[in-house]
Structure 1
Amino acid sequence: MSIKHSLLALLQESPRYGYQLRGEFEERTGSTWPLNIGQVYTTLDRLERDSLVEKDGDDGEGHLIYSITDAGRAEVMSWFAQPVAATNPPRNELAIKLALALTLADVDVSAVVQAQRSASMKLLQDYTRQRRAAATNAGTQLNGDPGAGDANDAAWLLVLDSLIFTTEAELRWLDHCEGWMAKRAATAAKSTTTAPVAAPSQKFAPADQAVSK
């Protein structure tokens, strides 16, 4: 997640101070990825260092206001224009866990899969309930077409859709893993049962040593 560009996008709308930026970000994304206020101010310091934002006085209540510069506007518009690079995918803890479990003799991989499936299914149900509520708030029509409700509710709806699709994909992948491991186990068992049995060795005396009667 690019905190840098997220803050620039919000500052492009209007100048804000750190706590406002954090609150706006969490409201628009449904608090799915909560920000630490320390992260916000550290990022603002870096943005100021890079001349992408500048201090714009305070609001009279001790809050330091930041505004975006022309260079910052160009940076955030470039971010929106470019696709998200997937050349360096983030570490997937579940994939790492299953990969390691498969290589360790004392780990029940099937149990790991089942535990994750139960947790992911519960999460999917929770996201689905939240989506129904968000769809109502966003004014979504009965046929699924988007309405003209609050923009923040509509944004949260899109985030929920992403979470739902991601969780559904995880469940499909777990099904794939379970099926693949079952086939692997069956292949290994078949190889064991069909392995050729070595014929008992026989020793024959050379012809010139045969005993004549």
Structure 2
Amino acid sequence: MSIRHGLLALLSNGPRYGYQLRVEFETSTGATWPLNIGQVYTTLSRMERDGLVEPGGADDQGRAVYTITEAGRGELERWFSTPVDQSDRPRDELAIKLAMAIAAGDADLAAVVQTQRAATMRALQDLTRAKRTAAKEGLAQRLVLDSMIFKAEAEQRWLDHCEAVLKEKNT
């Protein structure tokens, strides 16, 4: 997902000013993707240049607000109707780390796996606590946290598999 599409989604609900977009973006993503306010204004500027948003004057407190254009709505609709391709996701740094540990030849693979297992378990516990406190915050936060929990659980299962393969190799 790009910041651009996230901001367009928020603007589809009505005019917003930059700081408001930043807060709503972070809230909607369960605070898992913090934004710098400069990123928000740079993205808005580019979207204005591309005809996706336009300045909408100022609110009652004098803050410049932006509105989504028809072209912006079209871009948002295209984004929502396009599935996320596996190749569009960032690389899996943990898989690469283990592959490089194997390539290095002298790394303690079991220790690498155990270190990651402990870190993933702590993250899973933190996410579970966050989900309990965010339950009343809204559906968007819950779904983001659920996704993160499922990914952490899947990582734990993959680490179990790695351990089994390492044991098999060493026997």
Q: What's the TM-score once normalised by structure 1's chain length?
A: 0.76
Measured at CA, do residues 87 and 93 of structure 1 come closer, stay the same or move farther in structure 2, by a change above 3 Å?
Answer: closer
Letter in 2 for 1:172: R
Deviations 1:71-108 (A, max 9, x none): 10111122112211223431111111111001113311
The residue aligned with 2:87 is 87
The residue aligned with 1:171 is 156
Letter in 2 for 1:77: E
List 4+ stretches of structure 1 deviating above 3 A. Answer: none
Q: Which of 125, 141, 144 lines up with 1:159 in the alignment?
A: 144
- RMSD of aligned residue pairs (Cα, Å): 1.5
Q: Which SS does the other structure have where 2:158 is aligned?
A: helix
User: For 1:44-83, what aligned pairs fall within 5 Å after superposition?
Assistant: 44-59=44-59, 61-83=61-83
Partner Cα distance (1:101, 1:118) in 2: 18
Q: Which SS does the other structure have where 2:87 is aligned?
A: coil
Q: Which SS does the other structure have where 1:107 is aligned?
A: coil
Q: Which SS does the other structure have where 1:67 is aligned?
A: strand
> Higher helix share goes to which structure?
2
The residue aligned with 1:197 is none
The answer as to whether partners of 1:51 and 1:72 remain within 8 angstroms in 2 is yes
Q: Structure 1 regions of 5+ residues with no counterpart? A: 138-151, 187-213
Partner Cα distance (1:161, 1:88) in 2: 21
Measured at CA, do residues 88 and 13 of structure 1 come closer, stay the same or move farther in structure 2, by a change above 3 Å?
Answer: closer
User: For 1:1-213, what aligned pairs fall within 5 Å after superposition?
Assistant: 1-59=1-59, 61-135=61-135, 137=136, 152-186=137-171
Deviations 1:29-82 (A, max 9, x none): 221111111111111111111100011122354522111101101111221122
Percent identity between matched residues is 60
Greater gyration radius: 1
The residue aligned with 1:202 is none
Deviations 1:102-134 (A, max 9, x none): 111331111111000001001111111222333
Partner Cα distance (1:129, 1:167) in 2: 14
Greater RCO between the two (CA within 8 Å, min separation 6)? 2
